């Protein structure tokens, strides 16, 4: 097998391989620089070195966010509510990208910002940031092949007694850049597995496991099922006691794109969701959180 084929099977993208070819000493086999068509033999050692230029367009801003895990290849962070993931026209300096740029600069570890799994502005919890193109390639491949497993916790309106699956296509709502809808004709397949964890007075805490990752998938699915998320003004109703959609990226598991190690992380339910439930507690189904 040639070096290039070996690296492709490891998940490295065409773009990553091009950058490696352009980097002096980027691909070494047993300590010597080689081309991608070099044939490998059993016992050969392949080392990769890549230096990326970090763009300056993201302004470093000191903003609070949690670091759950970090190594030289990636970060797993715990995003707070009211923080967009990427800068936009109306959000220049209040995003996770700004916070990560500040964090990297302060550590002397500046890296290209690549967010692998995305969350809405007011959804809290776990996200993966790839620090370079090599780790990003492997993580993006895992996302495409549904090998990054994401489990969410959500508080929904009404009582849900049994576990189930919602398999309904989700598409963009006409004349809206943000809102999504169930769209059997033009939507993409979306599958959400859910189960109740505990419930109170007209609310249920559910666990949602995503088989697909469409924009607003959980929010649209639960609303279509008659159980919109508490505080979700876009697909339900505003609520003073919960000024955001009660949705939290709780558990995240994947294979490390460089080392091959299996990683799993859990983020505790945020205080605002805990407070909402405690003030309206009635009964419990289980205690897994």
* Best CA proximity match to 50, nearest among 18, 22, 14, 26: 26
Q: What class is the 53-145 domain?
A: alpha beta
* Domain 148-289 annotated CATH 3.30.2350.10: yes
Measured CA to CA in angstroms, residue 243 lies from 180, 185, 217, 229 at distances of 20, 33, 20, 11
User: CA 237 to CA 239: how far, in whole Å?
Assistant: 6
CATH topology of 53-145 equal to that of 148-289? yes
User: CA 27 to CA 36: how far, in whole Å?
Assistant: 8
- What tokens appear for 286 in the block? 């289980």
- What pLDDT, on the 0 to 100 scale, is given for residue 14? 78
- What pLDDT, on the 0 to 100 scale, is given for residue 288? 56
- What pLDDT, on the 0 to 100 scale, is given for residue 52? 67
- Strand duo 149-157 + 191-200: pairing: unpaired
**Residues classed as catalytic:** 120
- What pLDDT, on the 0 to 100 scale, is given for residue 54? 62
Return the domain boundaries, the chain. Answer: 3-48, 53-145, 148-289
CB 120 within 8 A of CB 216: yes
- What pLDDT, on the 0 to 100 scale, is given for residue 142? 93
- What pLDDT, on the 0 to 100 scale, is given for residue 216? 96
Q: Residue 281 is inside which H or E element, if any?
A: strand 281-284
As averages over each run of 10 residues, the pLDDT of the chain (289 residues) reads 81 75 79 83 81 73 96 96 88 91 89 90 97 90 92 97 96 90 95 95 95 94 96 91 96 95 97 93 55
Residue 274 Cα to chain centre, angstroms: 22
CB 126 within 8 A of CB 250: yes
- What pLDDT, on the 0 to 100 scale, is given for residue 110? 79
């Amino acid at each position: 097998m040639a070096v290039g084929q070996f690296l492709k099977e490891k998940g490295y993208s065409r773009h990553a391989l091009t950058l490696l070819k352009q980097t002096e000493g980027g691909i070494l086999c047993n300590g010597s620089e080689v081309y991608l068509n070099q044939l490998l033999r059993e016992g050969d050692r392949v080392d990769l070195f890549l230096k990326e230029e970090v763009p300056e367009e993201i302004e470093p801003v000191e903003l609070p966010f949690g670091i759950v895990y970090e190594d030289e290849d990636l970060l797993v962070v715990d995003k707070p509510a009211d923080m967009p993931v990427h800068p936009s026209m109306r959000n220049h300096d209040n995003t996770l990208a700004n916070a990560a740029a500040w964090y990297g600069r302060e550590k002397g570890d500046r890296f290209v910002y690549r967010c692998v799994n995305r969350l809405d502005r007011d959804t809290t919890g776990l996200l993966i940031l790839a620090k370079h193109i090599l780790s990003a390639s492997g993580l993006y491949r895992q996302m495409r092949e549904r090998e990054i497993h994401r489990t969410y916790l959500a508080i929904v309106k009404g009582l849900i007694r049994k576990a189930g699956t919602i398999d309904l296509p989700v598409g963009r709502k006409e004349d809206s850049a943000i809102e999504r809808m169930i769209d059997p004709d033009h939507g993409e397949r979306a599958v959400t597995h859910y189960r109740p964890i505990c419930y109170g007075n007209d609310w249920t805490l559910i666990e949602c496991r995503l088989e697909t990752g469409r924009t607003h998938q959980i929010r649209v699915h639960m609303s279509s099922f008659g159980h919109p998320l508490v505080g979700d003004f876009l697909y339900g109703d505003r609520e003073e006691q919960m000024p955001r959609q009660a949705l939290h990226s709780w558990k995240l598991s994947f294979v490390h794109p460089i080392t091959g190690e299996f990683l799993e992380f859990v983020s505790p339910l945020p205080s605002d969701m805990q407070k909402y439930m405690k003030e309206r507690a009635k009964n419990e189904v289980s205690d897994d959180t």
